[in-house]
Amino acid sequence: MKDELRSEPFYIWIPQSILDFLIQILKVAFEFTLSIFTSLYDFLKSTGKVIVSLAKKGYEGLLKYSRIFIKGNYKTKLSFLLMGFGAYTNGQIVKGILYQLLQVVSLGLLIFFFGPYIAKLNTLGDTLGTPVTYDPGNPNADPFGYVPAQPGDNSMIILLLSVGGLILAALLYYFYLQNLRLAEANEMTLQSGKRPIPFKEEVKQLLNERFHITVLSWPVFFSFIFTVLPLVFMILIAFTEFDRFHQPPGSLFTWVGLDNFINMFSGQNAFYSRLPATLWAILQWSFVWAIFATFLNYFFGMILALMINKKGIKLKVLWRTVFVITIAVPQFISLLIMRNFFNEQGPFVNFLIDLGLVGPGYGPFLTKESARFWVIVINLWVGVPYTMLITSGILMNIPADLYESATIDGAGSITKFFKITLPYMLFVTGPYLVTAFIGNINNFNIIYFLTGGGPSSQQLFQAGHTDLLVTWLFRLTLFDSDYKMASTLGILIFMISSFFSLIIFSRTGGIKAEDSFQ
């Protein structure tokens, strides 16, 4: 009998539903790995198509505006030189004046304000300022012998205002093309015997059927100022040497090309020799953390919702309220309380010492493995209630006849969970899991308020054992003033987050088959 038992496969004792689920997980992992290579191929292929399409559109645009200039009348031709000329000479006086005013103001700003900065964009400045010095013999000294400070170039201001000037130039170019289209449209309208739309009529349209353009134009305008401009500026910082040793206005910085990316991945510079190992270690931990933080919260929240919604459970509202209270309290307050509760002088450690389980000097956040374990555990306290609320409503919408049919077929609770509940939940909450996973990769609060990235390590470059990529970026920016590497890391974080978001989101069942659940 024993020999017969030994000859049986080890997995014979595992329920079939769990085996099917594990096989499904392996299948998903294989499909996901395959999708990464497929997506890379599609990305390179689509990039080539975009480049060809842009070149084609540029060529077609050149032919189009050349035709407009050749075939147009003198009003249209002069619109190439004076914006709005084709408007106010055809009865649209207010619109023509606005176009002309836009041209004069924009060109004035580009030439007299932004121009000097754009001219220095290639070097980011070459004149250092001088501080106030005491030199009584200097002819420029004041009666007390002090030579006034001489202002010099500021690389940061040059870069920032150059980006602003280039964005303004791009906007001016857009409206310049709109001006040419308007001149052509007015010419064709007059040739057909009609008159162009009066300005008052266009204003009425902007306040009625085209009111969405009026409303959305302001967010777009401010997005360029407060989002696009800072974003482009911070991306360009990654290609400079801007750090604590090159702080304007006392020092200048210049372009270094891809040196920062090379140092990030190879540590070519001796000062950054630990950078590649640090990047790899933190990247590994960031993904381990994101996987545990996402799926543990998801499954425990789902199980908690199943327990509370189970028939026969009393005081359901009370149980939900108890867990919702953790959401009502601001997260950083809960995390700071947990930090004090679990530190080496806190109640938790003193309780373990009283029980004789640990000795004096123990702290959950003092070692690498312990700190990472407790960070994941404490995150459950913060994240599980959110998942419980999300899944509670979805669980109530699962058709009851599915469970009834499964019961008739002899399925048990475990089989029902893995065959009905879990697939339905994954189908509906697939997009939520994607956002939760990416959000946990960039989860700043949990790490910063609990451990501050610690415990520290001599092997890592300006990082601790629980630092994520985003908290490491914060350290590089705030404590080390290494803005160039922080910007480089920010670009890397964006590429990782967007890459996995696009791949996982496109492969989610709820996106691939929105209208059906099978």
Average pLDDT rounded to a whole number, residues 121-139: 79
For 236, residues 6+ apart whose C-beta sits below 8 A from its C-beta are: 159, 163
* 168 has pLDDT over 60: yes
Which pLDDT value is given to residue 498? 81
Of the listed ranges 216-220, 232-236, 508-512, the one predicted with least confidence: 508-512
Asked whether the beta carbons of 179 and 157 are under 8 A apart, the reply is no
H or E, element range at 455: none
- In the chain, what's the furthest Cα-to-Cα distance? 110
Which pLDDT value is given to residue 289? 94
Which pLDDT value is given to residue 260? 93
As a whole number, the mean pLDDT across the chain is 83
257-312 pLDDT per residue, tens: 999 999 999 888 888 889 999 999 999 999 999 999 998 998 888 888 888 877 77
Average pLDDT rounded to a whole number, residues 58-87: 86
Asked whether the beta carbons of 103 and 174 are under 8 A apart, the reply is no
φ, ψ of residue 497 in degrees (nearest 5): -65, -45
Asked whether the beta carbons of 125 and 153 are under 8 A apart, the reply is yes
First to last CA, the chain: 43
Of the listed ranges 87-91, 136-140, 322-326, the one predicted with least confidence: 136-140
Residue 308 vs residues 230, 379, 381, 391, 415: alpha-carbon distances, Å: 47, 21, 17, 11, 20
* 3 has pLDDT over 70: no
Global pTM reads 0.80
φ, ψ of residue 505 in degrees (nearest 5): -65, -40
Which pLDDT value is given to residue 288? 93
Q: What is the CA radius of gyration of the chain?
A: 32
Which pLDDT value is given to residue 1? 42
Asked whether the beta carbons of 430 and 421 are under 8 A apart, the reply is no
* 141 has pLDDT over 70: yes
Among 369, 322, 365, which Cα is nearest to 340's? Answer: 365
- Mean pLDDT highest for which of 84-88, 269-273, 489-493? 489-493
Preceding peptide of 455 cis, ω within 30°? yes
4 three-state secondary structure:
helix
Residue 13 — left, alpha, or beta (φ > 0 → left; ψ -120 to 50 → alpha)?
A: alpha
Partners of residue 147 on adjacent β-strands: 133
Burial of 107 (0-12, 13-18, 19+ CB in 10 A): middle
What secondary structure does DSSP assign to 141-160, as a single string? --TTSEEPPB----HHHHHH
Average pLDDT rounded to a whole number, residues 219-239: 88
Of the listed ranges 43-47, 263-267, 488-492, the one predicted with least confidence: 43-47
Residue 115 vs residues 129, 166, 173, 233: alpha-carbon distances, Å: 21, 10, 16, 17
